[in-house]
Amino acid sequence: MSVDSILILVALTNLMLLAYSRLGASIRVTAAQGILLGLLPLVASPHAGWHAALIAVGSMALKGVVFPRLMFRALREAKVQREIEPFVGYNVSLLIGVAALAVSIWIGQQLPVPGATISSLVVPVAMFSILVGLFLIISRKKAVNQVLGFLVLENGVYTFGVGLIQHTSLLVELGVLLDVFVAVFVMGIIIFHISREFDHIDTDALSSLKD
Amino acid sequence: MFPVLFGLGIWMLSGLAALFARRSPRTATACGVGGAVAGSIVALVPVLGVLAGGHVEPLRWPWAVPCGEFHIALDALSAWFLLPILILSAAAAVYGGEYLWPYRERKSLGPPWFFYNVLVASMALVVLVRNGVLFLVAWEVMALSSFFLVTFEDEKESVREAGWTYLVATHLGTAFLLAMFVLMGREAGSLDFDAFGAAAFAPALANLLFVLAVVGFGTKAGFMPLHVWLPEAHPAAPSHVSAIMSGVMIKTGIYGLIRTLMILGTPPLWWGWLLIGIGLTSGIVGVLFALAQRDLKRTLAYSSVENIGIIALGLGLGTLGASMHSGALTALGFGGALLHVLNHALFKGLLFLGAGAVAHGTGSRDMDRLGGLLKRMPLAGAAFLVGAAAISGLPPFNGFVSEFLIYFGAFKGAVSLPASGAVPMLAVIAGLALIGGLAAACFTRAFGMVFLGEPRSDEARHAHEPGLAMRLPMWILAGGCVLVGMGAPLVWGVVTRAFGVAEEYRALAAEPLSWIVIGSALFLALVGALVVLRRELLSGRVVGQSATWGCGYARPTARIQYTATSFSQPITSQFESLLGTCASVTPPDGYFPRHSAVASETLDACAEKIYRPAFTLLDRALSRLRWLQHGTVQLYVLYIALTLLALLVWKLG
């Protein structure tokens, strides 16, 4: 599997996330995206040594196994199955996704990047992931989807990092992973508490909490 | 420099210790008081050394913040402002130990002591730092820690409102300072004060910087009309906190202004005029409002505005002298202002502690409900009397000395300068005379209503003397008032030597000051002789006692007495247009009148006529933007995403 095909698969998973209404499926797609991105550094520089491999395995384990399990638990506890009435419908979401892809490709051409990248697709796909992540946070109501949006956004930043910096420092990478882990963990707890307090996890209904 | 750092460390650590020991009020108080006093004593050593002519190496440590550097230095100006900070903070801490003790059942004493010691450390840091970023950090810490002290009794609505007013006012002031430092830094290429001093500012920029400094520092100092937070925050705070806020914290504004004047170099003429104008406004209007208040601590707060006005008059004289190259005027003006900074810290600290003792002993600060306290708390009352006499500018106390220096400078200027300088001098002389007279009336009223006569309520009747921990600081401060008053030539010598004033200007004031001391000594001797004479004449005779203001009635009541409001009514009615006192009168009616009543209230004219309408207008304008805040998280993220995307496209396109 080449770098380009991984990146294209990542872009496709992004589009899938925009089209899915079932939360369980969305979680699985995000997990798949995490595993794909974990493979990226291994494929990009196969002779990088054991610590790059360690990072890749760790990141795959977290994004592919730990996070999905946490999210599924949150789903079970909140007793929700699907996003019923998003702010933006699925067809429109897909159209916006395509527009975002176009913008990302344009940005990829314009953005001056220091040094060489492992592929010309790195910047567009990274930007696309970031935009899709933000869009998920904006357009969906269920808190689980917002966590997924945050994860996708983080995946975009990760893609950027892996694609640009050839020798990612172990410490920085671990720091980022830890960051995301804590974030997802906390969000899982918050989702649980919100659903226990309010009997739902619709974030738009929380607007009555404003002053 | 290390003793100062050591002092800072003691304050911070003892504050933290008090915070951690919040479960035990005894430990928290011990940490707070002990740390404040120990830190002050340790830091006092280098301060006195510098004032005696010594030199302390400045300290520079790198600091990771952009443009920031931990650069502190102790020159004569810093030392002079540190002196009252250290003395008053230590005295007020000892007092506060007993003052806060009754609150231990309801409140944790850890946080107030933590914020108290942080406040002391930040005030010390403000006058020490030589870097713009560090200065703003210290300034902000000072504002926040004092905010938390002001809102100590946050269960009261009025206290929360006062805290809010203070927070808004202080941050508006800081905004001006931020602009000032940025402009200075852009010109000097660095945010270091030494670089500021070396930079040459164009006249237009210097004018702008001066105005920013006057507004920014003036808000903290309490220049009229930027004073609105003082009469709210000072009464709301616990009394020992009011004492250090009014005694020394507002002086950091004066310090900042002097430091800015030093940085900006030779001032144009109008700076002096502006400062004199501010001084006259603050002084006269401040003391008039002080006269119109019923709350003892509110009176004291307005009197702080008045005294800041006197300091501004001194600064104005000095600035005018500097721009007209008159060394005598510069020395006397700045000297008088600096001396008044110390003096005001001593007597205003003392008076606030006295007001706290009254509130502690009676539970009331309303002068119309007090009275006759001198018989119930003679020791605290005597200390309050010393403070009242000193703040009225009467010899042999210290208030007279600094006001004399300003008068003396103004007279010197009036006879020697051309008209552009002489006219403001005459205004200063007339204004200072008016301020002095009104201040004497104000404190006659405050002392007379609270301590003399008969108690006007049950609380006042059952007042009790405060304990030793509260009396001792008051006596130390009262002793300071007498000491500075009687040792005036000595203090003047120290000030002029520390600031490197030329010998001829030092001698100029030294001689009249020694005559004043001799006169005061003669006066004290006369008083002593009269006391002895009285005792001699009365010995062996029967001395009867009856109710004060008894007036020969068989059954006098406390209600026959003048009240605080009626005492000041002749003056307040003269200045009615300025004060805007609103009174509601129900006059006696019919042949057999049953019910009649008078109620009057003096609200702050600036707050009511300027700030309230302005903020209402602002509120109305901004409420049109309320729709932006709707509580939907998704839309907030949308704002951020759209902004980022637009910026990215704009930058790349």
| Cα gap A24→B505, rounded to integer Å | 87
Residue B472, CB-side half-sphere exposure with 13 Å CA sphere: 12
Q: Does some domain include residue B462?
A: yes
Q: With beta carbons under 8 A apart, name residues in chain A contacting B634.
A: 87, 137-141, 203-204
- Where does B417-563 have alpha helices with state H? 419-451, 458-461, 468-486, 488-498, 503-538
Domain identity same for B528 and B639: no
Q: Do B631 and A134 touch (CB under 8 A)?
A: no
Q: Per-residue pLDDT for A200 more than 70? A: no
What percent of chain B has pLDDT above 90?
A: 32
Cβ-based neighbours of B411, under 8 Å, separated by 6 or more: B425, B429
pLDDT at A143: 77
Structure tokens at A63: 């994004």
Domain identity same for B499 and B610: no
| Cα gap A5→B497, rounded to integer Å | 81
pLDDT at B650: 87
Q: Per-residue pLDDT for B1 more than 80? A: no
Instruction: Give how many domains chain B has, as a whole number.
Output: 2
Q: Does some domain include residue B285?
A: no
Domain identity same for B528 and B412: yes
With contact defined as beta carbons under 8 Å apart, do B251 and B84 qualify? yes
pLDDT at B137: 92
CA B489 to chain centre: 25
Q: Does some domain include residue B33?
A: no
Interface residue of A145, A207, A210, A211 to substitute, partner B, most B CBs within 10 Å: A207
| pLDDT, tens digit, 9 for 90 and up, residues B239-273 | 999 999 999 999 999 999 999 998 888 888 899 99
Instruction: For chain B, give the mean pLDDT.
Output: 87
Parent domain of B643: 606-652
With contact defined as beta carbons under 8 Å apart, do B149 and B112 qualify? yes
Exposure b/e, B129-144, CB count within 10 A at least 16 = b:
bbbbbbbbbbbebbbb
| pLDDT, tens digit, 9 for 90 and up, residues B115-162 | 999 999 999 999 999 988 899 999 999 999 999 999 988 888 888 988
Q: Does some domain include residue B199?
A: no
| pLDDT, tens digit, 9 for 90 and up, residues B325-361 | 888 888 889 999 999 999 999 999 999 999 999 988 8
Structure tokens at B361: 């002993």
Task: Please write down the HEC assignment for all residues of chain A.
Answer: CCHHHHHHHHHHHHHHHHHCCEHHHHHHHHHHHHHHHHHHHHHHCCCCCHHHHHHHHHHHHHHHHHHHHHHHHHHHHHCCCECCCCCCCHHHHHHHHHHHHHHHHHHHHHCCCCCCCCCCCHHHHHHHHHHHHHHHHHHCCEHHHHHHHHHHHHHHHHHHHHHHCCCCCHHHHHHHHHHHHHHHHHHHHHHHHHHHHHCCCEHHHHHHHCC
pTM: 0.80
With contact defined as beta carbons under 8 Å apart, do B218 and B316 qualify? no
Q: Which residue has the tokens 């020991």?
A: B21
Domain identity same for B342 and B423: yes
Q: Shortest CA distance to B307 belongs to which of B330, B333, B279?
A: B279
Q: Do A103 and B645 touch (CB under 8 A)?
A: yes
Q: Do B631 and A138 touch (CB under 8 A)?
A: no
Categorize the per-residue pLDDT at A178 as very low, low, confident or very high, splitting at 50, 70 and 90: low
Q: Does some domain include residue B7?
A: no
Q: Do B634 and A203 touch (CB under 8 A)?
A: yes
Q: Which residue has the tokens 């940025």?
A: B182
pLDDT at B304: 93
Last residue within a domain, chosen from B509, B534, B559: B534
Domain residue spans of chain A: 3-200
Q: Per-residue pLDDT for A51 more than 90? A: no
Categorize the per-residue pLDDT at B432 as very low, low, confident or very high, splitting at 50, 70 and 90: very high
Q: Shortest CA distance to B407 belongs to which of B419, B395, B418?
A: B395
With contact defined as beta carbons under 8 Å apart, do B442 and B303 qualify? yes
| pLDDT, tens digit, 9 for 90 and up, residues B83-118 | 999 999 999 999 988 888 888 888 888 888 999 999
| pLDDT, tens digit, 9 for 90 and up, residues B458-497 | 888 888 888 888 889 999 999 999 888 888 888 888 888 8
Nearest CA in chain B to A135: B638
| Cα gap B319→B257, rounded to integer Å | 11
Q: What pairing do the DSSP bridges indicate for beta strands B69-72 and B597-601?
A: unpaired
User: Of B16-25, B544-553, B589-598, where does mean pLDDT reach its minimum?
Assistant: B544-553
Cβ-based neighbours of B344, under 8 Å, separated by 6 or more: B247, B251, B304, B307, B311, B391
pLDDT at A96: 92
At residue B563, φ and ψ (nearest 5 deg) are -100, 170
Last residue within a domain, chosen from B471, B502, B534: B534
Domain identity same for B406 and B524: yes
- Can you tell me the ipTM of this complex? 0.78
How confident is the model over B217-225, as a mean pLDDT?
90
Domain identity same for B350 and B485: yes
Q: With beta carbons under 8 A apart, name residues in chain B contacting A103.
A: 645, 649
> Could you please report the per-residue DSSP string of B176-209?
HHHHHHHHHHHHHSSSBHHHHHHS---HHHHHHH
Q: Per-residue pLDDT for A203 more than 90? A: no
Domain identity same for B529 and B613: no
Instruction: List, as ranges, residues 112-131 from A with C-beta within 8 Å of B.
Output: 131
Q: Shortest CA distance to B40 belongs to which of B119, B152, B112, B149?
A: B119
Q: Does some domain include residue B178?
A: no
pLDDT at B572: 84
Last residue within a domain, chosen from B472, B506, B534: B534
Q: With beta carbons under 8 A apart, name residues in chain A contacting B629.
A: 210
